[in-house]
């Protein structure tokens, strides 16, 4: 399963790259709006740092506006994937952009029917928001299982990109269900590393070593 960073912070992304576990980045208007400087410049810098798919979202809400903005975003860098919000305009824009060979990530997906439509118009990625479904006391991960099943039934090539990830359990469940990718805020990626028994175990190994062979013996 591919691991993406859900962030528009060049510094946060740069800090994760040496781990060699990051395959791409997703941004959205909320994340990009928080960063200082020109958003297009930030996106170009992220593309250079990651060298993999970087989702950049349109803010237009009509088809023509999405197409114009999407093409401008795609021109920024070869790694840009144009993100469009799900809806009739988003679906039409996805079809047109995909026909031009531009990769599209259909976002704000909350149902299997929406994911089916996104795949039919050639989305490269579909982004179901599991955390926001959980927030409504409904199991967000159930949706991932449904989408994976539907895509397998028809050999759709659209990748399931699990989004709105709130913790390591979402990542593990995404991998168990066969999702293609999972996009995580940096703090969730950090949490994937942690286990108290690893820390305690290392502490014990080092203490034992220092007792026996340590101190230059």
CA neighbours within 13 Å on the CB side: how many for 188? 21
- Alpha-carbon distance values, 124 to 48, 137, 157, 199, 212 (Å): 21, 29, 7, 40, 56
Q: Which is nearer to ligand G3P, 32 or 112 (CB)?
A: 32
**Which structure tokens are listed for 15?**
């800090």
35 touching ligand G3P, by CB under 6 A: no
Q: Which is nearer to ligand G3P, 125 or 153 (CB)?
A: 125
Report in angstroms how near the CB of residue 108 gets to ligand G3P at its nearest: 8
26 touching ligand G3P, by CB under 6 A: yes
Report in angstroms how near the CB of residue 164 gets to ligand G3P at its nearest: 3
Distance, in Å, from the CA atom of 85 to the CA atom of 102, rounded to the nearest integer, reads: 16
2, 83, 88, 187: the active-site residue? 83
- Three-class secondary structure assignment of 92-157: HHHHHHHHCCCCEEEEEECCHHHHHHHHHCCCCEEEEEHHHHHCCCCCHHHHHHHHHHHHHHHCCC
159 touching ligand G3P, by CB under 6 A: no
List the one residue from 42, 114, 158, 164 that touches ligand G3P (CB under 6 A).
Answer: 164
Q: Is the CB of residue 19 less than 8 Å from the CB of residue 43?
A: no
69 touching ligand G3P, by CB under 6 A: no
2 touching ligand G3P, by CB under 6 A: no
**Residues known to be catalytic:** 83
Give residues in contact with ligand G3P (CB under 6 A).
6, 26, 28, 129, 131-132, 163-164, 183
């Amino acid at each position: 399963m591919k691991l993406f960073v859900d962030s528009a912070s060049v510094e946060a992304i740069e800090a994760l790259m040496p781990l060699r576990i990051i395959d791409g980045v997703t941004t959205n208007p909320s994340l990009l709006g928080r960063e200082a400087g020109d958003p297009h410049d930030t996106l170009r810098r992220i593309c250079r740092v990651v060298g993999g798919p970087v989702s950049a979202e349109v803010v237009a809400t009509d088809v023509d506006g999405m197409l114009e903005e999407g093409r401008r975003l795609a021109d920024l860098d070869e790694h840009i994937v144009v993100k469009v919000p799900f809806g009739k305009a988003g679906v039409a824009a996805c079809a047109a952009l995909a026909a031009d060979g531009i990769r599209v990530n259909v976002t704000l997906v909350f149902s299997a029917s929406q994911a089916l439509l996104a795949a039919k118009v050639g989305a490269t990625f579909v982004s179901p928001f599991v955390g926001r479904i959980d927030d409504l006391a409904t199991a967000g991960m159930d949706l991932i299982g449904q989408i994976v099943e539907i895509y397998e039934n028809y050999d759709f090539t659209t990748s399931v990109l699990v989004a709105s990830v709130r913790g390591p359990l979402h990542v593990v469940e995404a991998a168990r269900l066969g999702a293609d990718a999972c996009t995580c805020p940096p703090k969730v990626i950090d949490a994937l590393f942690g286990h108290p028994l690893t820390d305690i175990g290392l502490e014990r190994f080092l203490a034992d070593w220092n007792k026996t062979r340590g101190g230059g013996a």
